[in-house]
Structure 1
Amino acid sequence: MSVCRPIRCLLNPSLPKPPSTPKRTFHASASKAARRRRPHYPSIKAADLKLLNQTAEEKYPKYDTSETTLLSKRYTPAQIAAIKAAESAIDTKDLVTQAQRRSDPWLLPYEDDMSLMDPVTDHAPKLTAKDLPYNHGFREANEVEQTYAISKIATENMAKLYPNGTPEGEMNEQEARRYEEALEIAMTQAALDPRAIYHSKKNEVVNALADPRFSTILPDLPRLENRMAKQTRRIAAQEEEDPRQKRLLQYMDWTKDDVKKIRVKTLVVHGVTNQTRMGKIRSMYYLTIAGNMDGLLGVGEGKSVEPDEGRKQSTMAAIRNMRPIPRYEGRTTYGNLEQKVGATKVQLFSRPPGFGLRTQHLIFEMARAAGLQDLAARTPRSRNKMNVIKATWEALCNQKLPDEIARARGKKLVDVRKVYYGGSIY
């Protein structure tokens, strides 16, 4: 098929296009091109525009002189100018036609006309000594003045908590606990009150210090007391307890903090496939090591269709399978070790202090998790990752200690370094 076009198509673009071949439709509704296009916004007639302007002016009026004076008491001139500029940028007619009332739990309890202070969104600015009526009319209180001020302020706070007077006579357990909490709150507020820290002979200065904006801390933000917020806080505060971890803690008689101190690392991850009569079922296999870096080391395996579930299985199995690893002077193995698993052979060699861990990455991670510091290793034959890890773990766990060899031979073993050098390894 030729793609050439005559030159008149380029020089005369006003020529009519050839009619397209009609396509057969297989549904009853009209095609998209034949449908009537609807506008995004409803059209407003000229007669309704006057009513719309009148509604917008009544619902969102401009600031008058009294409101501007009220705003000047709460906000600075720069903030008032910013408020007016922001409101002038929004057309009140758009608020009537397009605005939508919020119904979510974080709905503000008032229309944001900037004339009210809300503790959630508006924080009072901090005041300094320059805002006092007398800049040089106060000083730091001594111990006697501070004790007197704290007792006085605490009495005022208790009077606010118990306007009818403190309860007298015997109190039940609940009332006594409530009274102790109220007393503790009153004493804490009195200790943080600036009137207890500073002293002045002029009552105006002391009364000015009673302003909470002089306090060292602002009041905490109020919490939403609806059902959804309570449920959210409960879920955030309480971790979802895994039944597998719960059984592990009961089995090992540990706490959650002890489990968090364990060093865990997944070294082998690959997919496996199980052929069944229903077809191939693919799952993930994980091989994880765990150790406390102080003589304990474990290896665990896990397999599951869900990746997180298989990783968690291997982690719990590694922690549960931890065994003690004998370490000479807390840094290396007792002599040279050799272990064979399948076609893999692992050779471990003890080394002097300062030698470090000169091994491949798999044995390096296992030695670090077990707390070994000086070690060399070789894998002369197959280097299958799973077999290397298992052979290293068996070699470290099945070490032959010199004391056991000497006791089997009926000999007595003496460590010269411990006897003559006090166990010093450097």
Structure 2
Amino acid sequence: MSVCRPARCLFSKATATSLPRPPPQRSFHASASRPARKRRPHYPSIKAEDLKLLNQASEAEYPKFDTSETTLLEKKYTRAQIAAIKAAESTIDARDVLTQGQRRTDPWRLNYEDDLAEVDPVTDRPEKLTGDDIKGSKNFRLANDVQRDENIARITSENLAKMYPEGVPEGALDNQEAGRLKSSTEAAFSQAVLDPRVSYTSNNPAALESLGDERHSIVAPDLPRVENRMARQTRRLSTEEEEDPRQKRLLQYLGWEKQKLRSIRVKTLVVHGVTNQTRMGKIRSLYYLTIAGNQDGLLGVGEGKSVEPEEGRKQSVMSAIRNMRPVPRYENRTTFGDLEQKVGATKVQLFSRPPGFGLRVQHLIFELARAAGLQDLSAKTPRSRNKMNVIKATWEALTSQKLPDEIARARGKKLVDVRKVYYGGAIH
């Protein structure tokens, strides 16, 4: 092995060497060498015209306070707060806020429209007071039953006045307003019972009010009132619930309301893992088969498959509700005669039964019959009992029944002739 190359590498690293410099190597790249390249700026250069437009936009979006606005601020904020506002405005460039800033959309974003004049129980630390701030006597004693009832009534009225600033509604109320008034009264009463001003009394009104002031209480602060912002943010009405986009499209497709959709009986009967062989390897996912019915003549079967378990189940549920079809029922309890359906190697035989017979079928057909609203039925599966095929065959048999009036119309006869039962009760 030649030692010329290691020796040349070793001597080239020496600080002082008498070896001649090697000739410059030929570059095989089309681009210029690194030393020959110009240094690129970290930030794009802005032209004078664009800078003028940016200054105009920043001044229009974030204007500076004039003298009249500063006078109004002095009435609401202290001198230290005004000094902090001015320091922040002088430090933050409005152009940077316009080009780099953006409003947050997450649920924990701050309320940008807040003037920060009130103490927020979520983000601010409330001011604490000591006993020296209470003027007069600081003695308390337990209230008797009469005083306790009076305090509960007084504090409940105060809480209701906060909930209804314009007055408690009177007269004839609809069901929604009556329910809202009832829940508000219960909430006001519960807060009044837990208020410490109910259990104690004092000759000094200031000392008594300090029991309900959260600035004086460190151990048990005042409960959040219904009207404050923290309660409004944490309380979510049923009309403001986040909707699944699939559910929203389904409601638009069916023309239903949420209440009607909640009344649908849904049950997942088959769950197993499946594997899809691709060029990237084996991709495992879960398969779901779900049934849906309103227990009054509607029945549907849906399938779903996804890598995520919850996603696949949602797909099957939405598909089952969307595929619901009417199930004809004789006397709203059983089928119109005996039925037979074959899917694959599975054969399902359904037999109508007299009143009080019940559902004497296997568990899969039992769930389908209960979801459809059938009460008297028996069944046989003489061949293969594959779960998926049993469910599909039962669903097709129930939804594709031949009604007696259809048979009579096809034969050109009357319905009583097809059923072989006449008005006199004699059987032909």
TM, length-normalised to structure 1: 0.50
TM, length-normalised to structure 2: 0.50
